[in-house]
Structure 1
Amino acid sequence: MQKIKTALLSYGMSGKVFHAPFIEFHDGFELVGSWERSKKLIQLDYPNVKSYATLDAVLQDDIDLVIVNTPVGTHFEYAKKVLLAGKHAVVEKAFTTTVAEAQELVNLAKEKGLKLSVFQNRRWDSDFKTVRQVVSDKVLGELVEAEFHFDRYNPLLSVKGHKETVNSGAGILKDLGPHLIDQALYLFGMPLAVFADIRVTREHSLVDDWIDILFYYSNFRVRLKAGFFVREANPAYVIHGKKGSFLKSRGDVQEDELKLGKKPNLSSWGKEAKGNEGLLHTEIDNKIIKEKIPTLQGNYYDFFEGVYESIVSDTKEPVTAQEGLLVMEIIEAAIQSSFHRKAIDL
């Protein structure tokens, strides 16, 4: 099996939790090392890898793929350098800070013949995969509305300075927003227009921390919400059609298990506990049913498998840079909408 030599651009929470375990587990990748500016931690977990002192050192090494998992405001600069160095890239969300930056990266990857993917791992959450299956099965009839939540209760400011200081990558719209936006686009495609309300709700916060975004489609609406003052969470996914409804709480276990140091596998990984199934209440073949729907298995491994195949077999990336660009178009439209207090046509 061809090995894809891979490097991370940071080994904080995202590198340690979301990337390194799957790169190590997948037979097609070789984790070569990570750029570490101050704390040198990666060799505590992976003794045989390198700790790079600079980005140039990463790019000058024998590396095939670079994971750009640094603060959002650096994504464009670093991803551009990675592509110019002839390396494939995976960039975390938000892809960039502007549509113009995203378009430049899309063009550059195409020009260089390189693979460029956006790490939208929430497509492979167990809860969302189940929602997607229900929508695909068309058991709700013609859709009327959908509402996706990414709710938390956390009134305190983050200790990570880049998340709380005013900069082009800060705020909940570019943190949790890309998850919700990408999921909605993945299920329903681009809307005709966007209306958004973006607020600051935490005391002393300098960045947006509450969003309510409405997607206009020709015959239905999709609402996306996220905030830090939801002590009792709403269902993460609510979908209503003309024949029925489906409600699903956020239940994916992968992040929590990764934080505990558990290692991914292909059999039992990403399975939600019993009792957290979604509720389907609909009419099928003139019969009303109301039942719990088994939750599908989630696994971020599938994203990395998609990246591997895209490089070795020249297939489409699991999340394309063009899809990342569309998320940025929604984000820019949401900012305009909130500022002008009106819907923005796309």
Structure 2
Amino acid sequence: MSGKIFHAPFLDLHPGFEITGSWERSKKLIQQDYPNVKSYPSLESILEDEEVELVIVNTPIDSHFEYTKKVLLAGKHAVVEKAFTVTAAEAKELKALADAKGLKLSVFQNRRWDSDFKTVKKVVKEGLLGELVEVTFSYEQHSPELNAKAHLETPSPGSGLLRDRGSHITDQALYLFGIPDAVYADLRIVRPGSQVNDYFELLLFYDKLRVRLKGGFVAREAVPAYVLQGLKGSFLKSRGDLQEDKLVAGEKPNSDDWCTEPEEKQGVLHTEVDGRIVREKVPTEKGNYLDYFEGVYQSIAHNKTEPVTAADGVNTMKVLEAAILSNDEKRVVQL
């Protein structure tokens, strides 16, 4: 799904990229969508292909470190799906290797380019709420049945909702607020038959700010995905980005109206502006994952900073690792 839905359509659309092919282990499908590309029989065959400059690693999480290390050792740039790695030590090693070889290494944290989060970012950057006191980011749905994808439900070093969806909203929090001073976490297994964590709640401690990150599969009634409380006001925003649904439906990201949320999904701003209390809807920003790939292109072609750096990936892994330790030892973990 990752290659077909989240990567290939944007690489195909962007004039700076040419899709060379994909390693397909079982079903050989890529040539149905892109007839002129290769279906590689192995990772080694990709790394031996001198035409290949950039490799996207979008396999299950516990193979990210092994495969990305091979990519970098072969002298090729890399984009790695979230979560970056299993441990912070692995993330640091990959960053050091990329730095030593002068290669670009980026983590595919595409949710920074969701319409809902871009709107939250705008409200925060404009200081509309005053000094922030409490923030909640949640990624919840109602889906208590086990996932048909076995690797998501089988216990392994990389499995569990914390590393899957938790990596998205952790990255978003660190992007806006930086590294917290400490972390407290509660990880649970709540679905019948589940063997991996499928509920998480993290509390990130900053000097004057607390950020709560939540995820789970038992929220039948949707609540705002983003709740921000400041000394001057509040902002509430539902999760409303349409890109994944459009991509799954086979739509291509090649229109000016690619991701315009409906008006009923607009967030509510209740704050004070120039001494006047206002409560109003905030027009939603347009999301577009193509902007991520434009950043990758600029980083390789013009030596710009990657859109999500390896250092960003290291920091996210530090927080997730601290969360797991916090849950295991039932204590606040200092960073």
Q: Normalising by structure 2, what TM-score?
A: 0.99
Equivalent residue, structure 2, for 1:295: 284
The structure 1 residue matched to 2:123, chosen from 115, 134, 148, is 134
The structure 2 residue matched to 1:239, chosen from 216, 220, 228, is 228
Structure-1 separation of matches of 2:178 and 2:304: 21
The structure 1 residue matched to 2:7, chosen from 14, 19, 29, is 19
Equivalent residue, structure 2, for 1:106: 95
The 5-angstrom pairing of residues 207-226 of structure 1 reads 207-226=196-215
Alpha-carbon deviation of 1:267?
1.5
Report how many residues are paired.
334
Provide the secondary structure at the position in 2 that maps to 1:239. strand
Cα deviations by residue, 1:224-256 (Å, 9 ceiling, x for unpaired): 000000011110000000110000000000000
Cα deviations by residue, 1:64-90 (Å, 9 ceiling, x for unpaired): 000001000100000000000000000
Cα deviations by residue, 1:270-319 (Å, 9 ceiling, x for unpaired): 11122110000000111000000000000000000000000011010000
Structure-2 separation of matches of 1:233 and 1:212: 17
Equivalent residue, structure 2, for 1:270: 259
Structure-2 separation of matches of 1:205 and 1:263: 35
Structure-2 separation of matches of 1:274 and 1:288: 22
Letter in 2 for 1:17: I
Alpha-carbon deviation of 1:265?
2.2
Q: Structure 2: state its 5+ residue gaps.
A: none
Structure-2 separation of matches of 1:152 and 1:59: 39
1:286 aligns with 2:275: yes
Structure-1 separation of matches of 2:256 and 2:194: 43
Equivalent residue, structure 1, for 2:48: 60
Alpha-carbon deviation of 1:266?
5.4
Kindly report structure 1 stretches of 4+ aligned residues shifted beyond 6 Å.
Answer: none
The 5-angstrom pairing of residues 116-127 of structure 1 reads 116-127=105-116
The structure 2 residue matched to 1:157, chosen from 120, 143, 146, is 146
Structure-2 separation of matches of 1:320 and 1:199: 30
Equivalent residue, structure 1, for 2:58: 69
Letter in 2 for 1:219: K
Provide the secondary structure at the position in 2 that maps to 1:176. helix
Cα deviations by residue, 1:141-180 (Å, 9 ceiling, x for unpaired): 1111000010111111111111111101100011001001
Provide the secondary structure at the position in 1 that maps to 2:70. helix
Equivalent residue, structure 1, for 2:240: 251
The structure 2 residue matched to 1:40, chosen from 14, 28, 53, is 28
Letter in 2 for 1:295: T
Structure-1 separation of matches of 2:180 and 2:62: 26
Letter in 2 for 1:163: L
Provide the secondary structure at the position in 1 that maps to 2:265. coil
Letter in 1 for 2:151: H
Cα deviations by residue, 1:39-74 (Å, 9 ceiling, x for unpaired): 001001111110001111111112000000100010
Q: Normalising by structure 1, what TM-score?
A: 0.96
Q: Structure 1: state its 5+ residue gaps.
A: 1-12
Cα deviations by residue, 1:108-151 (Å, 9 ceiling, x for unpaired): 00011000000000000000000000000001011110000101
Structure-2 separation of matches of 1:325 and 1:339: 21
Equivalent residue, structure 2, for 1:321: 310
Structure-2 separation of matches of 1:313 and 1:19: 21
Alpha-carbon deviation of 1:218?
0.5
Structure-1 separation of matches of 2:158 and 2:279: 43
Letter in 2 for 1:42: I
Provide the secondary structure at the position in 2 that maps to 1:207. coil
The structure 1 residue matched to 2:38, chosen from 40, 50, 55, is 50
Equivalent residue, structure 2, for 1:7: none
Letter in 1 for 2:143: N
Structure-2 separation of matches of 1:230 and 1:67: 33
1:190 aligns with 2:179: yes
Equivalent residue, structure 1, for 2:76: 87
Structure-1 separation of matches of 2:193 and 2:256: 45
